[in-house]
Homo-oligomer: A and B are copies of this chain.
Amino acid sequence: MEKPLDFPRAWELLGKDLFARFVGVELLEIGPGRARTRLVVEERHRNGVGIIHGGAIFTLADIAFAAAANSHGRTAVALNASVSFVTASRGAVLLAEAVETSRGRRTATYHVEVRDDLGEKVALFQGLAYIKERTTLKEGRNDEE
């Protein structure tokens, strides 16, 4: 695991993420343009047919995306995400790994893979972030708008 001090802004951002804590998503690692998250699957994460909810899988991937997008120290907010659900996992743990696929002055893109502890790919996620001018923690998603 990277030391939190290496990417202080991203760790602080995720440390204050109440929904991540509520759902149970853990941030394992942040690197330059990348991050990994984990979810230990519980009954509360399941949908009406007993499989892991798309919303829980998205949340896990989205948090890896957010950590990677904020790893460079400037605030980045999600503009768009596209997710393909490829397997109904029977695993007990899900892991997401986000990798930066492009970074310009105003936008950056991330590819996130979600796997389970059985080695199955569960979902593929492509995220597009907007990079803000300012970097305080107080600002909202598109509040420059």
Q: Which residues of A contact B (CB under 8 A)?
A: 12-23, 43-51, 53-56, 58-59, 62-63, 66, 75, 77-88, 101-102, 104-107, 109, 111, 113, 121, 124, 126, 128, 130, 137-145
Excluding A50-B140, A101-B113, 18 further A-B contacts by CB distance (< 8 Å) are: A16-B48, A17-B46, A19-B46, A47-B66, A53-B59, A59-B59, A77-B85, A79-B107, A81-B82, A84-B109, A87-B104, A87-B142, A87-B145, A105-B145, A106-B130, A106-B142, A106-B145, A126-B126
Q: Assembly of this chain: how many copies?
A: 4
Q: How far is the CB of A19 from chain B (nearest CB, A)?
A: 4
- The 6 listed contacts between A and B (C-beta, < 8 Å) are A21-B44, A54-B66, A55-B59, A79-B107, A101-B121, A106-B142
